[in-house]
């Protein structure tokens, strides 16, 4: 036996660096469904089904391709219930030369694996994850010496590096780097949103659904109506479906929220990108081809490419630059527990109910629901970052620490003091009213900030401005908010504070 090659559940790519140069006849690929990874948070049942089923399909594909694979299926009685125990068992049995793996997506596991040479007495080779456009060292070099890190500048570097949407003279296509100002349309039902891509469960997925229902019945969400792709080929079909049906409108309605459409024009590709079933560059190139072919406008394609080579790469860079201290950041000093309705959806706030209900059914909510509804509420209510981060990590099918943490702790909760966003994304009900049709179906009145039926977002918005004056008042992008707050009559400010205090004291009843 030469080497053990460890492949984790989010590394399902035939081009994985750990497989490079390996010896198919002698090396042993190791994949394992283990209790410690499946239950360190309350993972949504659909997320467990997706990851286990995609792992099983990938292991089969490797075997068909001539690899020797040791695959541990989940069972609560398995003697090895963590990745470390699986490797320790196999190391005893096979006496390998070393363990080869690719950088994992989580500090916790990275720490463990980095110590295996001591704890298990086996040499471990951790290879860079080449599935990203920007590697960890390159990001650190870019960040060095900068007072503030801004995604927009990083994104331009990535455009130049990849050549995506660049002219032969090295200029951005269309004469602009960013077409975001074109991308803020409300959506009133037209054009109709396409049905999402569906893949019906095959025998492997059906077996995994039964397993998850049996052993993870206490976990959040449902396995019902599982329709995600679970192989690279199916994920390619999902990509083609997006490009044909949703990409043309992706830009225009990127910020819209709907009372009766869960998916709108989003790609729903994050689960596949984050587990290796799709390659980010191939996805972007497919979108750019659609623009060249006149099948999608530039504002849509640029917006989509920016999310992938801009935001996605940027948050990963920040994660590895600032961990492990980053996870403990709480610069706004928040201490509130997560309201229980985040788990049940049982709230009269229509926008929150709809976002949480979609999350429970689909293990998915689109970016604006995550940022401006459930995230915004947590920021306004002062929920402690670790509680809301744990929720996002649990409930979404695409949630892995490297991408979930910076988005939640940095972008949503502003708990890092502004590393990720130059200003907090705090917004009143007015924003949700402008971008959605929720408010007309809500128990609360969006036009009111005080009174029994006043939209809770409104008074909480002023409360956060008021209580964090020291944190925010010197931010030039917040000056206007403080001017507006200060020019309100003292009685009005008093009434807003009183309503917000009531909302916070009775948060579980909202
Ligand atoms: C609080 C919060 C938590 C989030 N947690 C996650 C998470 O755990 N995993 C995750 O992949 N994304 C996360 N995001 C980012 C974003 O919401 C999701 O990537 C997106 O909703 C996935 O759906 P989609 O594939 O339809 O995306 P689209 O809207 O179609 O966007 C295209 C792709 O761009 C990438 N992308 C877009 N925005 C971001 C972003 N801010 N950060 C990283 N990638 C981005 C994704 O890969 C996505 O598939 C989070 C955002 C917020 C505000
Ligand atoms: S009124 Fe307020 S709580 Fe109700 S849907 Fe609108 S923003 Fe949400």
Residue 238 has phi, psi (to 5 degrees) of: -65, -40
Cα-to-centroid distance, 68 and ligand 1 (Å) = 35
Judged against a pLDDT cut of 70, whether residue 1 lies above it is answered with: no
Ligand 2 pocket: which of 258, 426, 440, 444 to mutate (most atoms within 8 A of CB): 444
Q: Which of 147-151, 250-254, 339-343 has the lowest mean pLDDT?
A: 147-151
Condensed to tens digits (0 to 9), the pLDDT of residues 140-197 reads 999 998 878 899 999 999 999 999 999 999 999 999 999 988 778 889 899 999 999 9
**Angle (deg, nearest 10), helices 136-143 and 151-162:** 130
Could you count the other beta carbons within 10 Å of the beta carbon of residue 50? Answer: 27
Average pLDDT over residues 228-239: 98
Residue 180's pLDDT is: 85
Ligand 2 atom closest to the Cα of residue 350 is 5
Ligand 2, atom 2: closest residue by C-alpha? 455
In the chain, the percentage of residues whose pLDDT exceeds 90 is 93
The SS3 of residue 67 is coil
Residue 286's pLDDT is: 98
Judged against a pLDDT cut of 90, whether residue 326 lies above it is answered with: yes
Ligand 1, atom 45: closest residue by C-alpha? 312
Cα-to-centroid distance, 85 and ligand 1 (Å) = 32
Residue 148's pLDDT is: 80
114 dihedral zone (left: phi>0; alpha: psi -120 to 50; beta): alpha
Distance CA 363, CA 214 (A): 19
Judged against a pLDDT cut of 70, whether residue 427 lies above it is answered with: yes
Token representation of residue 32: 């394992």
> In sequence order, what are the residues at sequence separation of 6 or more whose Cβ sits closer than 8 angstroms to the Cβ of residue 318?
149, 326, 406, 410, 419, 420
Residue 422's pLDDT is: 81
Ligand 1, atom 6: closest residue by C-alpha? 404
Ligand 2 pocket: which of 345, 431, 433, 450 to mutate (most atoms within 8 A of CB): 433
Distance CA 505, CA 423 (A): 27
Ligand 2 atom closest to the Cα of residue 428 is 7
Judged against a pLDDT cut of 80, whether residue 13 lies above it is answered with: yes
> In sequence order, what are the residues at sequence separation of 6 or more whose Cβ sits closer than 8 angstroms to the Cβ of residue 21?
none
Residue 468 near ligand 2, beta carbon < 6 Å: no
Condensed to tens digits (0 to 9), the pLDDT of residues 216-227 reads 999 999 999 999
Residue 102 near ligand 2, beta carbon < 6 Å: no
Judged against a pLDDT cut of 70, whether residue 12 lies above it is answered with: yes
Ligand 2, atom 1: closest residue by C-alpha? 446
Q: Is the pTM of this model over 0.95?
A: yes
Cα-Cα end-to-end distance for the chain = 61
Q: What is the mean pLDDT of the chain?
A: 96
Judged against a pLDDT cut of 90, whether residue 375 lies above it is answered with: yes
Ligand sitting nearest the alpha carbon of 366 = 1
Beta bridge partners of 95: none
Alpha-carbon distance values, 262 to 252, 265, 277, 438 (Å):
17, 10, 23, 13
Distance CA 45, CA 43 (A): 6
Give the Cα-Cα-Cα angle 389, 392, 393 (nearest 5 degrees). 85
Ligand 1 atom closest to the Cα of residue 246 is 30
Condensed to tens digits (0 to 9), the pLDDT of residues 433-482 reads 999 999 999 999 999 999 999 999 999 999 999 999 999 888 888 999 99
Alpha-carbon distance values, 13 to 50, 54, 58, 174 (Å):
15, 11, 8, 34
Distance CA 317, CA 271 (A): 19
Q: Which residue has the tokens 């492949």?
A: 7
Distance CA 306, CA 313 (A): 10
Distance CA 258, CA 355 (A): 10
Ligand 1, atom 49: closest residue by C-alpha? 270
Token representation of residue 424: 């907090």
Q: Which of 279-293, 350-364, 464-478 has the lowest mean pLDDT?
A: 464-478
Give the Cα-Cα-Cα angle 399, 402, 406 (nearest 5 degrees). 95
Cα-to-centroid distance, 461 and ligand 2 (Å) = 13
> In sequence order, what are the residues at sequence separation of 6 or more whose Cβ sits closer than 8 angstroms to the Cβ of residue 365?
262, 355, 358, 359, 373, 374, 396
Condensed to tens digits (0 to 9), the pLDDT of residues 77-125 reads 999 999 999 999 999 999 999 999 999 999 999 999 999 999 999 999 9
């Amino acid at each position: 036996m030469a080497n053990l090659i460890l492949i984790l559940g989010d590394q399902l790519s035939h081009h994985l660096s750990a497989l490079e140069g390996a010896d198919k006849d002698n090396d042993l690929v190791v994949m394992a469904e283990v209790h410690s990874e499946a239950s360190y948070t309350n993972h949504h049942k659909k997320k467990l089904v997706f990851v286990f089923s995609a792992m099983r399909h990938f292991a089969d594909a490797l075997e068909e391709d001539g690899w020797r694979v040791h695959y541990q299926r989940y069972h609560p009685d398995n003697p090895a219930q963590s990745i470390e125990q699986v490797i320790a068992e196999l190391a005893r049995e096979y006496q390998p030369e070393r363990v080869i793996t690719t950088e994992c997506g989580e500090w916790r596991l990275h720490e463990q694996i980095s110590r295996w040479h001591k704890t298990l007495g086996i040499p471990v080779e951790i290879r860079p994850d080449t599935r990203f456009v920007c590697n960890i060292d390159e990001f650190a070099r870019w960040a060095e010496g900068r007072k503030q890190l801004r995604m927009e500048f990083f994104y331009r570097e990535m455009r130049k590096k990849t050549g995506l949407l660049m002219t032969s003279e090295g200029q951005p296509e269309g004469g602009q780097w960013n077409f975001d100002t074109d991308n803020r349309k409300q959506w009133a039902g037209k054009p109709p949103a396409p049905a999402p891509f569906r893949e019906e469960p095959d025998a492997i997925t059906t077996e995994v659904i039964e397993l998850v229902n049996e052993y993870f019945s206490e976990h959040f969400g449902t396995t019902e109506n599982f329709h995600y792709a679970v192989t690279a080929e199916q994920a390619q079909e999902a990509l083609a479906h997006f490009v044909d049906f949703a990409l043309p409108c992706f830009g225009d309605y990127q910020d819209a929220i709907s009372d009766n459409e869960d998916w709108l024009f989003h790609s729903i590709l994050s689960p596949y990108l984050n587990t290796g079933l799709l390659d980010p560059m191939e996805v972007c190139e497919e979108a750019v081809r659609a623009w060249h072919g006149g099948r999608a406008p530039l504002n849509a394609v640029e917006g989509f490419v920016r999310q992938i080579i801009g935001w996605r790469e940027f948050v990963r860079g920040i994660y590895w630059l600032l961990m492990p201290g980053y996870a403990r950041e709480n610069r706004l000093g928040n201490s509130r527990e997560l309201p229980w309705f985040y788990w049940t959806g049982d709230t009269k706030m229509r926008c929150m109910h709809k976002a949480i209900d979609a999350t429970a059914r689909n293990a998915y909510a689109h970016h604006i629901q995550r940022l401006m509804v459930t995230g915004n509420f947590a920021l306004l209510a002062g929920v402690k970052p670790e509680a809301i981060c744990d929720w996002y990590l649990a409930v979404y099918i695409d949630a892995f620490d490297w991408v979930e943490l910076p988005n939640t702790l940095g972008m949503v909760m502003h708990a890092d003091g502004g590393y990720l966003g130059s200003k907090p994304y705090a917004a009143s009900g007015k924003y949700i009213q402008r971008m959605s049709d929720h408010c007309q179906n809500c128990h609360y009145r969006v036009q009111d900030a005080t009174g029994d039926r006043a939209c809770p977002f409104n008074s909480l918005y002023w409360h956060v401005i008021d209580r964090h004056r020291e944190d925010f008042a010197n931010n030039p992008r917040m000056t206007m908010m403080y001017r507006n707050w200060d020019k309100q009559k003292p009685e009005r400010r008093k009434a807003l504070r009183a309503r917000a205090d009531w909302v916070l004291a009775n948060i579980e009843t909202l």
